[in-house]
Structure 1
Amino acid sequence: MTKILKFSRFSVRDLIVTAGPTILAIAAACVLAYVLVDPAPPRVVTLSTGQENGAYEAFGKKYADLLGKHGIKVVLKPSTGSYENLQRLAAGEADIAFLQSGTTSQDEAERKGLISLGSLFTEPLWLFLREDVKVKDLTQLKGLRINFGPEGSGAPRLFKQVLEANGLEPSELKVSSLANTPATVELLEKRIDGLVFSSAPDAPLIQMLLITPGIKLFDFTQAEAYTRRLPFLTHVVLPRGIVDLGRDLPAKDYHLIAPTATLVARDDLHPALVDLLVQAASTIHSGAGWFQQQGQFPSPKYSEIPVAHEAAKFYKDGPPFLQRYMSFWLANFFDRMWVVVVALGALILPLSKVVPPLYVWRIRSRVFRWYGQLRTVEQALAAAPQEQRAKVHAEQLERLNDIEEKVNQISIPLSFADDLYGLRSHINLVRQRILGAHAEDAPAG
C-alpha cells in the first residue's frame, strides 16, 4: 500500500512548482499595492504649537501623549504663534499646527493646500492692565505702553484690527513685541501698562494674571458690536466667580471677544492620521469649559479653512467602524486590505486559467518525454545495416528494458494513470516489433 501511495498520490510538489511563480507574482503585486498604492501612515508627525506657557503648548503635549499610545511620535515645535504656524505649514516644515480663525482666508488656505481638522476652542482676546491704569474704552490707550506680543503670533494682527475698528493706529501707542512670559514679568514690574494675549483660559499665564492683585482685565462691553464688524470673532462671557468662587473672582461678568483655535493640517497628511487626530481632539476638547458647553467642540464650524473629508465624516458619523473595536494599526491594516483584494482579483482570475493546464502539462511531460526515447529506438532499427541488424536488435532490446525500468519508477497521480499505462503498452509494442524482426532475420543468419 505504501508503494502504491508513493506512485499514485496527488503531486503536491508538482502543484507547488507549477503554481509557485504565479503565487510569487500575486504576492509581489499585493505587496506593491499595499505599500505604494495606499502606503501605511507615518510613525512621526510634526506639530507646530505656540509660545512657552501658552495654551497651544499645553494642548500640544496632550496630543503627543494620546498619539504616543498608538505608536505615533508627535514632534512638538514651539513657535511665536498662529502666523508662524501658517508659514510652517505652507513651507512643509510642519504636518499639523494650531491656527487662529482670521489668520488666513478660504482661498489662501486652498492655494496652500491646507485642511481643517476642526475648531477646538475659543481663545479670547485678553487685555490685562495695571490696576492704576484708568481705561474704560480702547480709545484711552493712546500713549500707553502696551505689549502686543511677538510678530508671528495671532494677537498683534487681531488687536490691530480691534484698534482700527476704534479709529486708533498702533503708532498712537507705545508698542512692544515681547513674548508672553517676559511681557508678564514687565507688567508685574510696572515697566509696561498692559499686555495682550489671545489664548484659551487653560494657559498658565492667563490663570495666574486672573488672580494676581494689582492686575485687572479689560471688559469689552461692546463685544457684540465687534463680532458684527469682524465676523471671525465670537462674543463670550467670563462669568462672575468662575476663577475662584470662594473669593468671588472675578467680581463681575466680563465680556470678551474671541477667535477660534483650529487644528490645521497639510492636505497630504495620511487619512488614517486625520482620523486619529480628530479622535484625539474629541477626547481633549469635548468637555465643558469657561466658554463652551459639553460637546460643543471640536466642531467643523467656526473656521474659514475647508474641513478634511475624514474629519467631516467623523463629526457626522463618529469614529470609523473598525477603530471602535480594534487598535489603530490593526484597524488601519484591515482598512487598507481592500487594495490587496483588488490586486488579487485582477491577477487570480486570469492566472487561475493558466495554472491548471500548466499542472497537467507538467505531469504528462513525465510520460510523453519517453516517447522520444521510443522514437529513437525505432529510428535506430530502421537505420541498421543488414549485416548489423542482429547486434542492433540486441542493443535496442536492452535499451527498451532500461526505459521500461525507469518508466516503472515514475510517480504520477491516479487521474493520469491511463497515460502511464498507455506508455508501457507502447514500449511493449516496440519490443514485439524488435523480437518479430529478429525472428525474421534469424534463418537468414
Structure 2
Amino acid sequence: MPKIFDFTRFSLRDLFATAAPTLLAIAVVGLLVYWLADPSPPSRVTMSTGQENSAYELIGKKYAAELAQRNIKVTLAPSLGSQENLQRLMDPDSGIDIGFVQSGSTEQDAAERQGLISLGSLFSEPVWLFYRDSHDITQLNQLKGLQINVGPEGTGVPLLFRRLLSVNGIEPVELTLGTLENTPATVALLAGTIDGMVFSSAPDELLIQMLLQTPGIKLFDFTQAEAYTRRFPFLSHVVLPRGIVDLGRDLPARDYQLIAPTATLVARASMHPALVDLFVQSATNIHGGAGWFHKRNEFPTANFTEVPVAAAAAKFYQTGPSFLQHYFPFWLSSFMERMWVVVVAVGALFIPLSRIVPPLYVWKVRSRVYRWYGQLRAVEQAIEGVLPPQRRDVYAHQLARLNQIEEKVNQISIPLSFAEELYGLRSHINFVRKRILGLQQVAEG
C-alpha cells in the first residue's frame, strides 16, 4: 500500500484510544440503569385463588387464559379463600405472587408493613345468608341459638360475620358457627342438619345460582344495608334485582338488599411493573362488563380497597393503556416504556463526554509529534557549556543522535490535517543540526 495513505486516512487507532474510556463509561452506566429499570418481566406467576368450584377459582382460570396470550404462565394455587390468600402473600416463603383478597381483611398500615399492593377492586362479593324457610329471620339478632355455617377460618367470611354480629349486639357464643366448606355446608343445609349458611362470593358461583332456586331455602334481606355501609366503609350497598335469576319464573320475586365487600387483586410490592400493567389490563377485560350488581365499566376500580393501590394500576385507571400498549406487543411496549430511563441516563452522560473526546483525540495525535520535542531539547542542552577538549566528540555524538531522531520522526503516521506539526518538527530538527554544524566548524577552525 502506498505510504501516502499513512498521511491521508483518519486515525482510527487514536480515536479508539481516546474514545474507549468514554464508551466504556457509557456502557457501564447503560447496563447499570438497565438492571435498575428491570425491563424484562418474569414469564411465570403464581396466583392464590380459592376453594374448588368457587368464584375465585373460576376467575383465576380466566386470568391464566388471558395472560397465556401474552406468553405469561399463571400457576393457580387453590386455597380456602381470602384470609389464606392474604396469609400467603404476607409469607415471603410461600411462593405466591398475587391473589384474591376480600376488602376488610386487613388494615392499610398492616398491608404497607407487609409490602402489599392492590391492583384494584374487581367485583362485589355480596354476603349471602341462606336459611331454611322454617325460620322467619328479618334481623341478625334473630340468629341466636341457631346453627349457622360460616366456613373455615381461611376464608374471609368468619371474621366479617363476627363483625356483623358484634354491631348487632350478638356474641359468637350465642349461636353455633360451623366451619364446613361451601359444598358440604350446602348439603348439610339441604339435609336440615344446619339452620343456615353464610358465604361471600360473586353471584356467578354455582352454589348461589342453585340456592336461589331451591324451594325451602330463603335469602336473608339486609334491610339495614345502608347502615352497615356507614359502619364499615369497605362494604357497599347492592341490590339483587327482582327477576335477575329467572325472568320467566320471576326469581327472585322481589328486590333484596345486600351488603358487599369487594374482591381485590393483591400482590407483593416487588411485582414487576410490567406485570402490574398486564394484570390490570386483564382485569379490565374480565371484569369490565355489566353484572348483577354493577354497570358496565364500573369495575375494576381503585376504590373499595384498604390496601395501597400500585402507582401503575392507579395510572391505568385514570388514563387507560399507554400509547405504546395500543400499537405494540406487550413485551415490546414494556421494554420501550422502561428503556427510556436508560436512554435519558446515557444521553445525560454522552453529551458532556462527547465534548471531551475531540480535544482528547487532537491531543493524542499531536502527542506523537510533541514528545520528540523533549528529545530535541535534550540535544540542545547537551551542547551547552561543553569544554573545548570535548566539543568535537560531543558535537559528533549529538549529530548522530539527531539523525536517529529524524529517522524515527519520518516514520510517524498521522492524519494529513496534522501534517503541519510534523513538518514543523522536522524543520526544528534541521535548525538544531545547523546550529551544531556551525558550532562544530567554529571548534575545528
TM tier, shorter chain? 0.7 to 0.9
Aligned with 2:235 (options 233, 236, 249): 233
SS in 2 for 1:236: strand
Equivalent residue for 1:289?
Answer: 291
Question: Matched residues in 2 for 1:330 and 1:108: separation?
Answer: 36
| Partner deviation per Cα, 1:306-348 (whole Å, 9 max, x = no partner) | 4333333222222233323333333333333443345335533
Equivalent residue for 2:18?
Answer: 18
Equivalent residue for 2:128?
Answer: 126
Gapped regions of structure 2 (runs ≥ 5): none
The 1:42/1:272 distance shift into structure 2, 3 A limit, reads closer
Question: Matched residues in 2 for 1:76 and 1:41: separation?
Answer: 22
Aligned with 1:192 (options 191, 194, 203): 194
| Partner deviation per Cα, 1:74-93 (whole Å, 9 max, x = no partner) | 44333322223333344445
Question: Matched residues in 2 for 1:339 and 1:360: separation?
Answer: 33
Amino acid at match of 1:10: F
Equivalent residue for 2:337?
Answer: 335
Question: Matched residues in 1 for 2:218 and 2:405: separation?
Answer: 107
- Does residue 216 (structure 1) correspond to residue 243 (structure 2)? The answer is no
SS in 2 for 1:354: helix
Deviates more, 1:150-159 or 1:337-346: 337-346
The 1:102/1:393 distance shift into structure 2, 3 A limit, reads closer
Residue 216 (structure 1) shift: 2.5
Question: In the TM superposition, what are the counterparts of 1:309-320 in structure 2 within 5 Å?
Answer: 309-320=311-322
Residue 386 (structure 1) shift: 6.9
SS in 1 for 2:204: coil
Deviates more, 1:217-226 or 1:379-388: 379-388
Question: Matched residues in 1 for 2:246 and 2:407: separation?
Answer: 103
8 Å CA contact 1:126, 1:217 repeated in 2: no
Equivalent residue for 2:53?
Answer: 53
Question: Matched residues in 1 for 2:379 and 2:109: separation?
Answer: 87
Residue 236 (structure 1) shift: 2.5
SS in 1 for 2:21: helix
Question: In the TM superposition, what are the counterparts of 1:163-178 in structure 2 within 5 Å?
Answer: 163-178=165-180
Equivalent residue for 2:76?
Answer: 76
SS in 2 for 1:161: helix
Amino acid at match of 1:155: V
Question: Matched residues in 2 for 1:67 and 1:382: separation?
Answer: 86
8 Å CA contact 1:64, 1:73 repeated in 2: yes
8 Å CA contact 1:14, 1:362 repeated in 2: yes
Amino acid at match of 1:219: F
Residue 269 (structure 1) shift: 4.1
Deviates more, 1:394-403 or 1:25-34: 394-403
What is the alpha-carbon root mean square deviation over aligned residues? Answer: 3.4
| Partner deviation per Cα, 1:402-442 (whole Å, 9 max, x = no partner) | 43343223221222211100111122223334544555566
| Partner deviation per Cα, 1:364-406 (whole Å, 9 max, x = no partner) | 1111222344345556666988778767766655554443343
Aligned length: 440
- Does residue 428 (structure 1) correspond to residue 430 (structure 2)? The answer is yes
Question: Matched residues in 2 for 1:327 and 1:359: separation?
Answer: 43
Residue 9 (structure 1) shift: 2.2
Equivalent residue for 2:410?
Answer: 408
Residue 110 (structure 1) shift: 4.6
Amino acid at match of 1:82: S
Question: In the TM superposition, what are the counterparts of 1:34-183 in structure 2 within 5 Å?
Answer: 34-36=34-36, 38-40=37-39, 42-43=41-42, 44-92=44-92, 93=94, 94-130=96-132, 133-137=134-138, 138-139=140-141, 141-183=143-185
| Partner deviation per Cα, 1:194-237 (whole Å, 9 max, x = no partner) | 322200123243344445x4562413151535445544333333
Deviates more, 1:424-433 or 1:108-117: 108-117
SS in 1 for 2:258: strand
The 1:406/1:110 distance shift into structure 2, 3 A limit, reads closer
8 Å CA contact 2:240, 2:256 repeated in 1: yes
Question: Matched residues in 1 for 2:422 and 2:216: separation?
Answer: 104
| Partner deviation per Cα, 1:33-73 (whole Å, 9 max, x = no partner) | 3323x334651444333222211222223233333444544
8 Å CA contact 2:104, 2:306 repeated in 1: yes
SS in 1 for 2:221: coil
Residue 150 (structure 1) shift: 0.6
Gapped regions of structure 1 (runs ≥ 5): none
Q: Percent identity?
A: 63
* TM-score, scaled relative to structure 1: 0.84
Residue 115 (structure 1) shift: 3.8
